[in-house]
Amino acid sequence: MVRSAQDKCPNVLSEEKVVNDIRTACLAKSQLVESAIVEQAGSVILNKVNEVNLAVASTVSDRVIDEVVESLSKTCKNLQSGEGPRKRASTGTEMGGRERGSSESSTRSERSDTVSQGDDTTSQKSDPSPLATPQLPKRKSLHGRKLRPQSVVGEGIVLHPC
């Protein structure tokens, strides 16, 4: 561009300072296009990288959730069938020893004495061993837990008017 301008207008572009100014202006204009393309490509690349990161995070979290759900369902099935794991760290069955065994037997005999003194209905329901699980009321069904509470509007209950 500068050469063709020098060929067409040799008198105006005879000074070196004017030619250098034109070259720097043309260089800045060409760099503007180049930098815009690079910035646009950079933003597109960053968007794609963010999409890939989200996809990877989603895949990892889905896989972890699937594994947890599978493990929980296996454990639930084992517990329902009565084949649950028998190890309990809180009761000390894993760390059993002679001292623990003697204290457990005395605890069992004390509990059996107290249970036998109680009424017959509770003695039939409870197990005198410390390893027995407590008898808890059954959980409500899933349907029952999802129901909304009954509305009190229209039942004669008057709220304080503002």
pTM of the predicted protein model:
0.34
CB 27 within 8 A of CB 35: no
Average pLDDT over residues 58-70: 95
pLDDT tens-digit map of 96-121:
444 444 444 444 445 445 444 444 44
Average pLDDT over residues 22-36: 83
Q: Has residue 49 got a pLDDT over 80? A: yes
96, 85, 69, 77: which is closest to 133 by C-alpha? 85
> Would you state the structure tokens that stand for residue 120, as one six-digit string?
């017959």
Q: Which residues of 82-110 are buried (b: 16+ CB within 10 A; e: fewer)?
A: eeeeeeeeeeeeeeeeeeeeeebeeeeee
